[in-house]
Amino acid sequence: MQRSISTQAIVIRRERYGEFHKSLALLTADLGLISATAYGAYKMNSSLRMGSEPFTWCLARLYYNPVKRTYKVTDLEISDSFTALQQDVGTLAAASLWAEVVQKSYGAGETSSVLFYLFLDCLRLLSVAGRREPYVSVQFLWRFLSLAGYQPDTSVCDRCGAPFGETRAARYSPQGNAFLCQACGVDQEVTLPAGCLRYLDATQSMTMEAALEVSMDAASLGALRRMLPRMVQGILEGELSSLRWAGAAR
């Protein structure tokens, strides 16, 4: 690996390191999810100060130490800080939830470059269309499940093979991470109105921009907002702590 590297990156997390430094988690287009140190970034006159804040999209110039296997940030050329989404509690909570998913999935492994562009698209859309935040979040979580290889089949019951069609409700089974028909499901499983699966099917292959033009009834939207974080938590095998904040911000 080259010692001097340039890559598109989004700051996922930053923590104080020592008195003046920042330890960053960066989702990159080329290297996946990495940790990097921005030395002196807390100093008021540091050129790294603004570019090392959460959700900033930048061209990151890094130095890689092959002996210690560590990255040092040498420059952050800001492309967008997405300040609009950080001025609203709801949109900031949504972006924080996505960032936690990125961290706990280790950048979705081999599909990290695709996840980078998905996350970037969602930040862009959220910053200009905050009122559509529920739909942006649904799309991010559903597409993340696809990237991670855990997106369940929306066409037929996983147990009996009966097709759902356009009018049949479904149930979600967390044990099998699967959609079941009403006959195969049990009462404690999440019930999804027929509009949920119709929406997921219709928007699956659309661009993010096109998908946000498609709406669903309030009951279906509410069901997906409850179910999708639960599905993601299941495959990550751990609680998403930002869900408490995201739920309070709705």
The per-residue pLDDT for range 163-213, each reduced to its tens digit, is 988 778 899 988 889 999 888 887 656 789 989 999 999 999 999 999 999
9 and 50 together in one domain:
yes
pLDDT digits (tens, 9 = 90+) for 211-235: 999 999 999 999 999 999 989 998 9
For the chain, the domain total comes to 2
Same domain assignment for residues 8 and 90: no
pLDDT tens across the length of the chain (250 residues): 679 999 999 999 999 999 999 999 999 999 999 999 999 999 999 999 999 999 999 999 999 999 999 999 999 999 999 988 888 888 999 999 999 999 999 988 889 999 999 999 999 999 987 678 999 999 999 999 999 999 999 999 999 999 988 778 899 988 889 999 888 887 656 789 989 999 999 999 999 999 999 999 999 999 999 999 989 998 998 888 888 766 544 5
pTM for the model stands at 0.92
**Are 75 and 92 members of one domain?**
no
Domain identity same for 194 and 139 = yes
Q: Are residues 174 and 210 in the same domain?
A: yes
Paired tokens of 190:
């999440």
CB 100 within 8 A of CB 242: yes
Provide the residue type at 126 as one letter: L
Residues 6+ apart with CB under 8 A from 48: 22, 38, 39, 40, 41, 73, 75, 76
The domain of 182 spans 85-249
Identify the CATH number of the domain in which residue 151 sits: 1.20.1440.120
Contacts of 44 (CB under 8 A, 6+ apart): none
Per the CB < 8 A criterion, the answer to whether 92 and 85 are in contact is yes
Q: Could you identify the residue written with the tokens 């096109």?
A: 210
Indicate if 105 and 221 belong to the same structural domain. yes
What are the residues whose beta carbons fall under 8 Å from the beta carbon of 58, sequence distance 6 or more?
8, 9, 10, 11, 51, 76, 77, 78, 79
